[in-house]
Amino acid sequence: MSTQTILVVDDDPQIRDVLSMALERAGFDAVLARDGAEGLSQARAISPALAVLDIGLPEMDGLELCKAIRKDSDLPILFLTARDDEVDRILGLELGGDDYVTKPFSPRELVARVRAILKRAGGAVSGEPAATDTSALKIGRLTLMPESHVCKVDDAHVTLTSTELTILSKLMSRPTQVFSRPALVDAIWGPGMVVSDRTLDSHLRNLRSKLADAGCTDAIETLHGVGLRMGPCLGS
């Protein structure tokens, strides 16, 4: 198995060094960039497996960098932020980020989140058998092929982030099951990972919006006080 490359974009040289050491100890290659413009250039040049983006970057901030990357790539993105305002973090997820870590951070936690995102990006769903990833999942007008990262409503392709794909794959693999929010968080991010309700809500809102734009308005049902499950995917 080839070594995966992680792009780290942060204007603080100490943080770049800490992340580089932590990632390389974990078996990754780390490529470093000092600002948003350099980060965008590196993202296009090396096609990394994942990018860690500081939000407060010079030249082009992390949110603008994420938007630029998302124009032509579904590269998994982990935001790194020193800001206390949760609006910034949620905005990052709504722009296409997969997760975030707040400074000061534990390098071990960051590596764990990188691994979790990469696992989702590869189509694997925590706790699900491999068979989930080897065949297409189809409900109503909606088709999902997790291994090839393909989602379609009828013949219209829907571009999903790795986290959105994992949520949809989890729900579609057990279409009659109602997932409680804690169970869904554990299945997607892994047991013991601290993820706020706002983070899950942001990913669900983005996913629903993308499916609705493609013509499937009833893909995910909310049973208030109980949890979430797949809908019939017949709406338009």
Torsional sign, CA 45, 49, 51, 52:
negative
∠ CA 47-107-147, rounded to 5°: 40
**According to the CATH classification, is domain 130-230 in 1.10.10.10?**
yes
The predicted pLDDT at position 190 comes to 78
Query: Which pLDDT band, with edges at 50, 70 and 90, does 85 fall under?
Result: low
Q: Which of 1-5, 31-35, 81-85 has the highest mean pLDDT?
A: 31-35
Which two structure tokens, joined as six digits, stand for 119? 């696992």
Query: Does 77 score more than 80 pLDDT?
Result: yes
Give the separation between CA 10 and CA 57, rounded to whole angstroms: 7
Output the pTM of the full model: 0.68
- Among 200, 14, 27, 4, which residue's Cα sits nearest to residue 105? 14
Q: How far is CA 175 from CA 185, 188, 204, 219, in A?
A: 17, 16, 16, 10
Give the separation between CA 25 and CA 125, rounded to whole angstroms: 25
- The mean pLDDT of the chain is 86
Give the separation between CA 80 and CA 110, rounded to whole angstroms: 9
Indicate the burial class of 85 (C-beta count within 10 angstroms; 0-12, 13-18, 19 or more): exposed
Amino acid at 81: T
| pLDDT tens digit sequence for 144-178 | 998 888 899 998 999 888 888 889 999 999 999 99
Domain definitions of the chain by residue range: 5-121, 130-230
The predicted pLDDT at position 202 comes to 87
Domain 5-121 fold? Rossmann fold (3.40.50)
| pLDDT tens digit sequence for 186-234 | 888 777 777 777 888 888 998 999 999 999 999 999 998 899 999 998 8
